[in-house]
Structure 1
Amino acid sequence: MIGRIAGLGLVVAGVLLTATIGAKADTVRLTTLEWPPYSGSLPDNGFSAIVVREAFKAMGHNVEIEVLPWQRAVHNAKEEPGVVGYFPEYPADLDGFSLSESIGESPLGLIVPAGASISDTTPAGLARLKLGVVSGYVNAKPVTEAITAGLKPEAVVDDATNIRKVAAGRIQAAEIDRYVFSYLMRNSADLQPLQGKVEFGPALESKTLHVAFNTKPEGRKWAAIFAEGLKKIDVGTLQKQHLSSAQ
């Protein structure tokens, strides 16, 4: 992802997560990464996995999802026989992949020290900040434009590191997805002591999420099936049901 999500690169063992729909159904194989609450080794495999599963279920098919470090997830989706794609991915021109219609939205914004405020989120305003990002992530448009305008962000390996840096006052703000921030603060034991010290500040951009299907014949076949399945479900309602508690 996400180019953005790519930066997560969390090293986890591959975990096969299978949704059984029917003995006669075909099985589509996809990869994903640990990016809760959207995807990963969660009880329901994350919101994005729920949408993917429901869309294929609507077409009468099973889904097998392998959870991998990000770069392996993308590589396997492109090169491993039988694997036809990966998710979630932000809008991008990707070599060897085509994107599905939206499977949800990712609200990007800034986290700041509790009580602090950032009123100027224009590229010029952001360029004046000591701002944290995650290496390899696709940034919100205002951050990308701020970098073009001269911002030299401090890049780290994951979102949790940026949360700690904001809490310690080492940076003024950091870019993060709203739901990811809420999930980490509620579920990461290492971040529990920082409750009340960091808060989600100004929103920057809401990016759509997608499944990236490889452009091999099997990938194109399953992309077409998935497109029909998406028409049969209500992604917006699913997002409200599964992510509203994460805010």
Structure 2
Amino acid sequence: MNVIKAFFLAAVLLLTSSRSHAERWVVMTLEWPPFTCSRCPENGAAAKALKDTLNKAGVSVEFVFYPWTQTQKKAEQPDVIGYFPSWKDVLPGFTRSEPLFKSPLGFIQQRSKPLVWSKLPDLKGKKLGITEGYSNTTEFNRLVKEKVLTVEPVQSDDTNVRRVALGQIDGALMDINNARYLISKAHSQYAGRVSVNQRILEDKELYFAFNSHNRDKAAKLKKALENVNYQRMVDDYLLKYLLRND
């Protein structure tokens, strides 16, 4: 009798579990620690927050990692919900979610030759690294187009950290939390050569980008966000895994 009861209970629990996660989202993302990262605890701060938020709405999330430009391209597939995270300017054909959280954008620099500026044109004559596919800011992009600022695009933020450390460029435009992670953890050998500039260019809002096949899913995420403080979840993760050791 006890065996029968145990079997029945297990079957009920299995059925309940399958119903509670009846929907599965495949999401394209990039290696952008500490926010999304295949090697970070629970895939990073923003990834964990998204999983926890959607889990309460009965949705499980599977992240697939690619370099940024490939992440965006592969996110167009019908069996993929979209790409995450994204700054405000999503690709044509994609629909952005409500703002999920914010993170500051600024520069990394050579410790021995810090960048001195109060407005962007002050950086004229400096060689600055950027990462391909990132939207950056309207003013920054305008100054690049007008050839006031000199930039050298690369494929990854890691490359920009290395190039600054080796003195190949004067600085690089990066998300500040991403920069702190890379300098203090992923590339700690460069910590004595690279630092974060104290001036913040902009606090950037981060979004989820839904493709044209799944833009209706935005309503489900919006509903789920009503019951959570996404920024606090991200900040709590950063405090636990990143800032406490800085």
Measure how far apart 1:68 and its partner are. 2.8
Paired position in structure 2 for 1:23: 18
2:231 alignment counterpart: 236
Between the two proteins, what is the percent identity of the paired residues?
A: 31
Q: State the partner residue of 2:128.
A: 131
Residues 4-27 of structure 1: CA deviation (Å, up to 9, x unaligned): xxxxxxxxxxxxxxxxx9310222
Flag structure 2 segments of 5+ consecutive residues without an equivalent: 1-15
Distance 1:66 1:162 in 2: 23
Q: Which of 96, 100, 104 lines up with 2:101 in the alignment? A: 104
Q: How far apart are the structure 1 equivalents of 2:129 and 2:68? A: 20
Kindly state the Cα deviation for residue 75 of structure 1 after the two structures are TM-superposed: 2.8
* 1:205-245 Cα distance to aligned partner (Å, 9 max, x none): 121111111122xx133211011001111012112201235
Higher mean alpha-carbon deviation, 51-60 vs 233-242, is at: 51-60
* Partner amino acid, structure 1, of 2:194: V
- Shift in CA distance, 153/121, structure 1 to aligned 2, threshold 3 Å: farther
* 2:72 matches 1:74: yes
Residue 35 in structure 1 maps to residue 32 in structure 2: yes
User: 168, 171, 180: which one pairs with 1:170?
Assistant: 168
One-letter code aligned to 2:212: T
Over aligned residues, Cα RMSD in angstroms?
2.1
Alignment check: 8 A CA contact 1:126 1:146 kept? no
Which residue pairs with 1:91 in the alignment?
Answer: 88
What secondary structure, in the 3-state scheme, does the structure 1 residue paired with 2:98 have? coil
| Secondary structure of residue in 2 paired with 1:95 | coil
Residue identity matched to 1:194:
Y
Measured in 2, the distance between the counterparts of 1:179 and 1:242 equals: 12
Does the 8 Å CA contact 1:108/1:140 hold for their aligned counterparts? Answer: no
Greater CA radius of gyration, 1 or 2? Answer: 2
Give runs of aligned pairs for residues 118-157 of structure 1, distance below 5 A. Answer: 118-150=115-147, 151-157=149-155
Q: What is aligned with 1:63? A: 61
SS of structure 1 residue aligned to 2:54: helix
Contact 1:114/1:196 (<8 A) preserved: yes
Distance 1:102 1:90 in 2: 9
Judge conservation of contact 2:69–2:132 (CA < 8 Å) in 1.
Answer: no
Q: Give the whole-Å Cα distance in 1 for the aligned partners of 2:98 and 2:81.
A: 16
| Structure 1 partner of 2:189 | 193
Distance in 2 between the 1:123 and 1:192 partners? 28
Counterpart for residue 5 of structure 1:
none
> 1:58-85 CA distances to partner (integer Å, 9 max, x unpaired)?
2122222222333343233212x32221
**In the aligned structure 1, how far is the partner of 2:142 from the partner of 2:242?**
29
Distance 1:169 1:106, change over 3 A: same
Quick one: structure 1 residues 141 and 127, their matched pair in 2 at CA, closer, same or farther if it must change by over 3 Å? farther
| Aligned mates of 1:203, 1:224 — CA distance in 2 | 33
Answer whether contact 1:98 1:212 (CA < 8 A) is retained: yes
Q: Is the 8 A contact 1:58 1:232 kept in 2?
A: no
